[in-house]
Amino acid sequence: MSNSAIEEILASLVAIDTTSSKSNLRLIDFVRSYLAGLGVESELIFSADRQKANLWAAIGAAGPGGLILSGHTDCVPVDGQDWTTDPFTLSEREGRLYGRGTADMKGFLACVLAAVPDIIAGGSRRPVHIAFSYDEEIGHLGVRGLTAELRRRGAKPGFCVVGEPTMMGIVIGHKGGRSYRCRVTGSSGHSSLAPRAVNAIEYAAELITEIRRLSADLATGPIDTAFDVSHSTISTGLIEGGSAINMVPHTCSFVFEYRNLIAVSQDAIFARIERYAKDMLEPRMKAIVADSGISFEPLYDYPAHEIDPHHPEVLRVKRILGRVDDSKVAYGTEAGAFSRDLGVPTVICGPGSIAVAHKADEAIEREQLQASHEFIVQLAASECP
């Protein structure tokens, strides 16, 4: 398929505002209609409120094995960004196509859809699946429902490519991520009587200090030098509390997140923080005011991912792309869900640069789209026995 056909599809996708706060059903309807026009049936796995949906489709013969081409449909907001073009109208300058989501990751979605006629013509005897998800940008929410449904059915795909923007490089691993909002509830009082109250900010500060100690411990290992930051990390990013200088603060909340290597347990990291809160801080708080305490609200959670660089599927991708190199990235993708929840060997490889994702004047090169399209067609063709 020509670049103009890919761009036509991309223009339609960009024109549909799928910022994560909005429904993605218009885009999903467009994709379903496009696939139906080519004789490909698809099904939807809805969110609980049915305002969003994952799309799952299979091209070729039904059965185990085969390929998954995975991408998310949502994008980040444009609010407050200084765009020089309309972010929801695809525009071109000097071989680059501008618009929200062009790189992250509607460019890949367009390449997948444009490749469908070639995949059909190729007649693979193993299925080629399309998996388009919702709400990746706000916690990898949609893919959980998709993998849960596939696991319930006993689906056994053979390989998955997640088309996040890698400039068509081969990414074999990424860190996991988890975030919590911690709420410290104390008791208020006049600051002249501070010892009789429970200062929520001060107890929050003690817990944040423990998180800082944990950060130093994580820096000692495990280590993976394939990452820019070779160890797991944890940090506090937001804090709010207090109402007046002469009042003991009743409440304080803060948000922390961690990015972990696959060798480091996400649960173990949280367990240390929770244990410190429950065993060290709460008893002192409750000795002053019985109903004071500390609680945690999960915000997002996605698993780390890793695949052996010598795995047969990685070697197949390298042969098709004519590359011998691979890398790991700190940002998260849906690859971890496919590998953890379904046991599917997965790599991340897609068109465009992560450096322009989430920024004003997000853009993708035409050459990247063409390279991605050719890769998808060749990869699907290699599914033929």
For the segment 303-322, the average pLDDT, to the nearest whole number, is 97
pLDDT per residue as tens digits for the range 214-232: 999 999 999 999 999 999 9
Q: How far apart are CA 384 and CA 124, in angstroms?
A: 5
Whether residue 62 is found in the same domain as residue 193: no
Instruction: State residue 384's pLDDT score.
Output: 53
The CATH number that applies at residue 328 is: 3.40.630.10
Decide if pLDDT at 296 tops 80.
yes
Based on the fold, state whether residues 185 and 162 are members of the same structural domain.
Answer: no
pLDDT of residue 105: 96
SS3 322: coil
For residue 205, give the 3-state DSSP assignment.
Answer: helix
Longest Cα–Cα distance in the chain: 80
Average pLDDT over every residue of 1-25: 92
Whether 91 and 228 map to the same domain: the answer is: no
What are the residues facing 302 on neighbouring strands? Answer: 177
Pair (123, 201) in one structural domain: no
153 & 71 share domain: yes
**275 and 332 within one domain:** no
Tell me whether residue 86 is one of the annotated catalytic residues: no
For every residue of 210-274, DSSP letters joined together read HHHHHHHHHTTS---TTSSS-S-EEEEEEEEE-S-TTEE-SEEEEEEEEEE-TTS-HHHHHHHHH
The model's confidence at residue 385, banded by pLDDT at 50, 70 and 90, is: very low
Q: Which of 302, 334, 358 is the last residue in one of the domains?
A: 302
What pLDDT is attached to residue 190? 86
- The domain boundary, picked from 242, 273, 302, lies at 302
Over residues 271-282, mean pLDDT: 98
Per-residue pLDDT tens digits for 226-255: 999 999 999 999 999 999 999 999 999 999
- For residue 283, give the CATH number of its domain: 3.30.70.360
Tell me, yes or no, whether 185 and 296 share the same domain.
yes
Catalytic residue among 17, 74, 137, 164: 74
pLDDT, one tens digit per residue, over 113-140 is: 999 999 999 877 789 999 999 999 999 9
How confident is residue 2, by pLDDT bands cut at 50, 70 and 90? low
Same domain, 297 and 308: no
**Rounded average pLDDT over 165-184:** 97
**Mean pLDDT of the residues in the chain:** 95
- Exactly one of 7, 104, 135, 136 is catalytic; which is it? 136
pLDDT band at residue 189 under the 50/70/90 scheme = confident
Judge if the upstream peptide bond of residue 222 is cis by omega within 30 degrees of 0. yes
185, 251: one domain: yes
Give the range of the structural domain holding residue 195, as residue numbers without chain letter. Answer: 178-302
Residue 151 and residue 44 in one domain: yes
**308 catalytic per annotation:** no
Residue ending a domain, among 302, 335, 352, is: 302
What confidence score (pLDDT) does residue 234 get? 98
CA distances from 207 to 210, 250, 267, 349 (A): 5, 16, 17, 39
Count of the separate structural domains present in the chain: 2
Indicate whether 176 pLDDT > 90. Answer: yes
| Per-residue pLDDT, 1 | 52
**pLDDT number for residue 136:** 96
Verify that 348 and 200 share a domain, yes or no.
Answer: no
Q: What percent of the chain has pLDDT over 70?
A: 99
- Do 8 and 104 belong together in one domain? yes
Q: Which pLDDT score, from 0 to 100, does residue 63 have?
A: 75
Mean pLDDT of 85-98: 95
DSSP 8-state symbol, 71 = E
